Amino acid sequence: MRKVGITETVLRDAHQSLIATRMRTEEMLPIVEQLDDIGYHSLEAWGGATFDACLRFLDEDPWDRLRKIKAKAKKTPLQMLLRGQNLLGYKHYADDVVEYFVQKAIANGMDIIRIFDAMNDPRNIETAIKACIKEGGHAQACISYTTSPVHSLDLFAKDAKILEGMGAHSICIKDMAGLLKPYDAYNLIKAIKESVKIPVQLHTHYTSGVASMTYLKAIEAGVDVVDTAISPLALGTSQPATEPLVASLQDTEYDTGLDLMKLSDIAEYFRPFREKWIESGLLDPKMLGVDANALIYQVPGGMLSNLVSQLKQSNAVDKLDDVLKEVPRVREDFGFPPLVTPSSQIVGTQAVFNVLMGERYKMVPKESRGVVKGEYGKSPSPISEEISKKILGDEKPITCRPADLIEPELEKIREEIKDMIEQEEDVLSYALLPQVAKAFFKKRKDGTLNQAPVEPAPKKAEPAREQFDEEDDDEVVAVISAAVSAIGSQSGTQFAINSIRQVSPWVLAGRL
């Protein structure tokens, strides 16, 4: 009998997808021992946006969260999501930072590290894979799923083979937008299972409404493990629910072996939280519905709502149709990158600029230039000479692995922050998110961390700012400069006002 494994995402992706990553450690700890007792393949409990959210919004030390969860989950492997060379931040870090981060994640209790890259460039995940293997962890190499004229079964199967060749212990297909349809999943999993010998896991989101059908076909095709979330934190932008899948597979050749009564106790624990989050506005019921637009426009749900909010800020929601038509064109110009953090923001913002400015690539943010220049890695298909010339002028794109151009940076970072650290891991928090970590260290020193008990839930969560890197003042300056140069025409002035409004928190915070 071939048991299908279940990775439970409630402690990471489920709340990242539904409540902007705001679940607190105290809300998790009382149920971890029971989760540990279920017999899951793994518990996804760290990584992705949780690291940033802990430090930035929750006044929590993410390392402390990991240790506390590990102390209660003694049997079930813990799993995390790592953004390849971007670790848990938004830019490429030097290899010495990547290696040290992986070392510390494993030393603090991590077992399985799922490593992806937004461009699917294997060179961007190799350092993390090798570090994970060296530290005795399970290295799960990830392929970001997308559709385009260049993304064929053959390409995905070849990518999987390359990752297996790098020493990965398993492969994950990460369908972050819920684009993978059931029969496509069947063919994809078959193709990958034929290409590699290591186990294959599938991760998807319910956004477009097809996810549980997709899992069933993937299971029939031989997938080894799938990601689900316990029902109160499932569906919508989160994962398919754990219990219906467990029930559907019971007494079949794919039985998960999990006990529905025990799962019911877990759901019971989380149900009141869900009610509380809906009441406080943290969980928007809109997140729970089916958004078939994801299937039509092939963009992640989060990206769609981001586009709408960018257009609202410029009083241009009526331009949504034009922007949605522009997104695939920009994506084609940029070599068909999958749309996932950070490529989804880069492509989306460029599409908005192209439409609002009334001329394509009149305004090109630093990140778009970075993609065309090769600073994020090799795109799935080559970027045309014409686009390269238009955006880079006479500058030459780079063809090496982007991190090869980054000098070791750990010692310099350690020196910079030596007076504020209270544990070795703080060096890494600072390396990843300098401003955010520093503010956290200061509050910790001053004893002003918000240690409010679990109640009451925060009012309406501020969505993580997706368009601009808060760590980077240059970016803010660029926005203001572009805004100022847009002043002149009626819509340009409005655009300028909105852009300046957008960066005003930094101005007020005295960072400019």
Residues that bind ligand PYR (CB under 6 A): 13, 16, 48-49, 81, 83, 176, 340-341
DSSP letters for 316-344: -GGGHHHHHHHHHHHHHHTT-----TTHH
Closest approach of ligand PYR to the CB of residue 350, in Å: 20
Q: How far is CA 469 from CA 60, 302, 466, 491, in A?
A: 21, 17, 8, 25
- Closer residue to ligand PYR in complex, CB, 83/360: 83
Q: Take residue 237 and report the two structure tokens written for it.
A: 């932008």
Q: What is the 3-state secondary structure (H, E, C) of 176-199?
A: CCCCCCHHHHHHHHHHHHHHCCCC
Closest approach of ligand PYR to the CB of residue 13, in Å: 6
Closest approach of ligand PYR to the CB of residue 121, in Å: 16
- Closer residue to ligand PYR in complex, CB, 161/465: 465
Closest approach of ligand PYR to the CB of residue 314, in Å: 26
Enumerate helices (H) and strands (E) in the chain, giving the number of each: 22, 8
- Closer residue to ligand PYR in complex, CB, 49/226: 49
- Closer residue to ligand PYR in complex, CB, 13/291: 13
Q: Take residue 459 and report the two structure tokens written for it.
A: 């009012």
- Closer residue to ligand PYR in complex, CB, 171/176: 176
Phi, psi of 170 (to 5 degrees): -155, 165
Closest approach of ligand PYR to the CB of residue 49, in Å: 4
- Closer residue to ligand PYR in complex, CB, 44/184: 44
The kind and range of the H/E element at 25 are helix 25-36
Closest approach of ligand PYR to the CB of residue 126, in Å: 18
Closest approach of ligand PYR to the CB of residue 17, in Å: 8
Of all residues in the shown chain, the one whose CB is closest to ligand PYR is 48
Whole-angstrom Cα distance, residue 369 to residue 101? 28
Kindly give, in sequence order, each residue whose CB lies less than 8 Å from that of residue 378, ignoring residues fewer than 6 positions away.
Answer: 119, 121, 123, 399
- Closer residue to ligand PYR in complex, CB, 208/256: 208
Whole-angstrom Cα distance, residue 86 to residue 48? 11
User: Are residues 391 and 368 in contact, defined by beta-carbon separation less than 8 angstroms?
Assistant: yes
